[in-house]
Amino acid sequence: MAGGLSFLFGVPACTTTRVETQVDLAGDRSAFGFRKLQPTDGQAIDIARAPAGTLADLITPIELAEPGRFPVSPDRASPLTLSADTIGIEAAPIRPVGVDTEGYFDVPEREEVGWYSFGPTPGEGGSSVLAAHISTDGLPGVFRNLRELDTGHELSVAFDDGSTASFIVLGLVQYSKDVLPIDKLFDRSGPASMVLITCGGTFNPQLNSYDDNIIVYTIKA
């Protein structure tokens, strides 16, 4: 398990599991259960003399938008609320956000959760991102208790088309902001996952900012 999840946490796997295998060299099974190759009656194919038309087989069609029309992004359901019973979040409103003029994640109001709407919606392929304040303007934010989440806890997102999606917490990591793997957190390729982000660690009063980000990694249930 540690090995499988290590890629998410950005640390190398440091534990291995010994696997005991039954090695049976008798019969037509080789080690690890693979079947020994049997000679065939077929003729070997000489690749150099492959029939013409192979070139055509390597070419596949690409779908473009209709001539005279600009491509249209497909409609998708927008997330409306986030619930996390184990830390007392009950249908917190989700606001679609982007970046501000400086290129920073545009964090919404204190009692709102920001969904990075340039990226996937929770449950879509790639990493969807929800972020909210731990504390702002001297008052606690929606994610004030985010670090109390633990592996196995369940989260729920409700969408504007009436559907809901559940997510299971894999784990939490607290990163110093200068080593936050931010490209990975906002990667739109790869398996569907959802990360929740807030701040943590030491508060720097000169900068009105925390030293660390707390990241909760989840997958769709």
| Contact positions vs another protein (CB under 8 A) | 52-53, 55-56, 58-68, 70-73, 98-99, 102-105, 107, 116, 118-119, 131-141, 143-144, 177, 180, 182-183, 185-186, 188-189, 197-200, 203, 205, 208-210, 213
Minimal distance, residue 34 CB to another protein, in Å: 30
Nearer Cβ to another protein, position 157 or 199? 199
Nearer Cβ to another protein, position 43 or 189? 189
CA 121 – CA 79 distance, rounded (Å): 7
CA 93 – CA 100 distance, rounded (Å): 20
H-run or E-run covering 185 = helix 182-185
3-class state of residue 49 by DSSP: helix
Minimal distance, residue 57 CB to another protein, in Å: 9
Minimal distance, residue 116 CB to another protein, in Å: 8
Q: How far is CA 187 from CA 8, 141, 146, 159, 161, in A?
A: 12, 26, 22, 22, 25
**What radius of gyration, in Å, describes the C-alpha atoms of the chain?**
25
Nearer Cβ to another protein, position 9 or 203? 203
Minimal distance, residue 40 CB to another protein, in Å: 28
Q: List the beta bridge partners of residue 214.
A: 174, 198
Amino acid at 113: V
H-run or E-run covering 129 = strand 127-131
H-run or E-run covering 182 = helix 182-185
3-class state of residue 94 by DSSP: strand
3-class state of residue 56 by DSSP: helix
Nearer Cβ to another protein, position 4 or 103? 103
Minimal distance, residue 102 CB to another protein, in Å: 7
Minimal distance, residue 217 CB to another protein, in Å: 15
Q: List the beta bridge partners of residue 136.
A: 139
Nearer Cβ to another protein, position 26 or 56? 56
Nearer Cβ to another protein, position 162 or 205? 205
